[in-house]
Amino acid sequence: ETGVTQTPRHLVMGMTNKKSLKCEQHLGHNAMYWYKQSAKKPLELMFVYNFKEQTENNSVPSRFSPECPNSSHLFLHLHTLQPEDSALYLCASSQVLAGDNEQFFGPGTRLTVL
């Protein structure tokens, strides 16, 4: 595997289900991100992990719970979601430096909440 991988690629869940999204980066980066991508809207940054420590939580509802066990893996635990949470969830990683910060994205998980 190369780059950033995400599983599953597609997920359909009911509002009472609990599921988890997984992201793995094979680039040796020290920062990982979760984004939400909805149609015709900007990518919304949800969470940032820098050296496994959560540094940003952009007012995300508690029904989304991130976990970063090490610098290569990132999870997004989902529970009691709402239909409006249906979107493409993108994971990204980067090597955070003082200068530029190119983020490498995975292909995303297409989530549908029924």
Partner 1 sequence: QQQVKQSPQSLIVQKGGISIINCAYENTAFDYFPWYQQFPGKGPALLIAIRPDVSEKKEGRFTISFNKSAKQFSLHIMDSQPGDSATYFCAAQRGSARQLTFGSGTQLTVLP
Q: Does 96 bind partner 1 (CB under 8 A)?
A: yes
Listed residue (54, 52, 55, 56) closest to 44, CA to CA:
56
Give the number of other CB atoms < 10 A from CB of residue 73: 15
Give the number of other CB atoms < 10 A from CB of residue 68: 21
Using CB under 8 A, which of 78, 81, 85, 108 touches partner 1?
108
Using CB under 8 A, which of 50, 65, 80, 86 touches partner 1?
50
Between the alpha carbon of residue 17 and those of residues 24, 35, 74, 81, 86, the distances in Å are 23, 21, 20, 8, 14
Q: Does 100 bind partner 1 (CB under 8 A)?
A: yes
Using CB under 8 A, which of 7, 54, 55, 112 touches partner 1?
55
Pick 18 or 51: Cβ nearer partner 1:
51
Pick 15 or 55: Cβ nearer partner 1:
55
Give the whole-angstrom CA distance, residue 21 versus residue 28: 20
Using CB under 8 A, which of 15, 102, 112, 114 touches partner 1?
102
Q: Does 42 bind partner 1 (CB under 8 A)?
A: yes
Name which of residues 70 to 89 contact partner 1 (CB under 8 A): none
